[in-house]
Chains A and B, each alone.
Chain A
Amino acid sequence: MALDKNGIAKRIAQELRDGWYVNLGIGIPTLVANYIPEGIEVEFQSENGILGMGPFPYDGEEDADLINAGKQTITVKKGAVFFDSATSFAMIRGQHVQLTVLGAMEVSQTGDIASWKIPGKMVKGMGGAMDLVASAENIIVAMMHTNKAGESKILKECTLPLTGVGCVKKIVTDLAFMEIRDGKFFLVERAPGVSVEEIIAKTDGDLVVPDFVPEMKID
Chain B
Amino acid sequence: MNKVVKNVEEALKGIEDNMTLMVGGFGLCGIPENSIAHLVKMETKGLTCISNNAGVDDFGLGLLLQKKQIKKMIASYVGENAEFERQMLSGELEVDLIPQGSLAERCRAGGAGIPAFYTPTGYGTEVAEGKEVRVYNGKPHILEEALTADFAIVKAWKGDTEGNLIYKETARNFNPMMAMAGKITVAEVEELVPAGELDPNYIHTPGIFVQRIFQGEKFEKRIEQRTTRKRD
> A interface vs B, CB < 8 Å?
46-50, 55-74, 82-86, 88-89, 92-93, 112, 116-117, 120, 123-131, 134-135, 161-166
The residues of A that contact B30 with a CB separation of less than 8 Å are: 65
Is B124 close to A, CB under 8 A?
yes
A123 is contacted by which of B27, B97, B174, B231 (Cβ under 8 Å)? B97
The 4 closest A-B pairs by CB, nearest first: A89-B101, A131-B101, A165-B124, A124-B79
The residues of B that contact A66 with a CB separation of less than 8 Å are: 169-170
B104 is contacted by which of A85, A134, A164 (Cβ under 8 Å)? A85
Contact check, B176 vs A84: say whether CB atoms are below 8 A apart.
yes
Contact check, A127 vs B76: say whether CB atoms are below 8 A apart.
yes
Known: A84-B104, A130-B122, A165-B124. 9 other contacts (CB 8 A): A48-B173, A59-B230, A65-B29, A67-B170, A71-B29, A73-B227, A84-B176, A120-B89, A126-B76
Look across to chain B and name the residue whose beta carbon is closest to the beta carbon of A61.
B228
A48 to B126 Cα, complex, angstroms:
24
B171 CB to nearest A CB, Å: 4
Q: Which of B4-12, B35-43, B61-69, B217-225 contacts A (4 or more CB under 8 A)?
A: B217-225
Instruction: Specify which of A49, A92, A93, A116 lies most central, judged by the most chain B CB atoms within 10 Å of its CB.
Output: A49
B139 CB to nearest A CB, Å: 9
Look across to chain B and name the residue whose beta carbon is closest to the beta carbon of A92.
B101
The residues of A that contact B187 with a CB separation of less than 8 Å are: none
A152 CB to nearest B CB, Å: 22
B121 CB to nearest A CB, Å: 4
B170 CB to nearest A CB, Å: 5
Q: Contacts A67-B27, A84-B174, A84-B176; is A128 near B224 (CB within 8 Å)?
A: no
Contact check, B75 vs A64: say whether CB atoms are below 8 A apart.
no
Contact check, B172 vs A82: say whether CB atoms are below 8 A apart.
yes
Is B161 close to A, CB under 8 A?
no
Contact check, B101 vs A56: say whether CB atoms are below 8 A apart.
no
11 contacts between A and B (CB under 8 A): A48-B27, A64-B29, A64-B221, A84-B176, A124-B77, A125-B78, A127-B99, A130-B101, A134-B121, A134-B123, A165-B125
B53 CB to nearest A CB, Å: 8
Contact check, B228 vs A62: say whether CB atoms are below 8 A apart.
yes
A202 CB to nearest B CB, Å: 27
A78 CB to nearest B CB, Å: 15
0 or 1 for each of B81-116: is its CB under 8 Å from A? (1 = yes): 000010011000001010111111101100000000
Look across to chain A and name the residue whose beta carbon is closest to the beta carbon of B230.
A59
The residues of B that contact A73 with a CB separation of less than 8 Å are: 223, 225-228
Contact check, B100 vs A131: say whether CB atoms are below 8 A apart.
yes
Contact check, A93 vs B101: say whether CB atoms are below 8 A apart.
yes
Look across to chain A and name the residue whose beta carbon is closest to the beta carbon of B84.
A123
The residues of B that contact A56 with a CB separation of less than 8 Å are: 227-229
Q: Contacts A48-B29, A65-B30, A73-B226; is A127 near B100 (CB within 8 Å)?
A: yes
Is B48 close to A, CB under 8 A?
no
The residues of B that contact A55 with a CB separation of less than 8 Å are: 229
Contact check, B173 vs A84: say whether CB atoms are below 8 A apart.
yes
Is B151 close to A, CB under 8 A?
no
Is B120 close to A, CB under 8 A?
yes
The residues of A that contact B76 with a CB separation of less than 8 Å are: 125-128
A110 to B10 Cα, complex, angstroms:
56
Contact check, B225 vs A48: say whether CB atoms are below 8 A apart.
no
Is B149 close to A, CB under 8 A?
no
B residues 12-51 in Cβ contact with A at 8 Å: 26-30
Contact check, A65 vs B77: say whether CB atoms are below 8 A apart.
no
Look across to chain A and name the residue whose beta carbon is closest to the beta carbon of B99.
A130
A67 CB to nearest B CB, Å: 5
Contact check, A130 vs B125: say whether CB atoms are below 8 A apart.
yes
B199 CB to nearest A CB, Å: 17
A147 to B121 Cα, complex, angstroms:
27
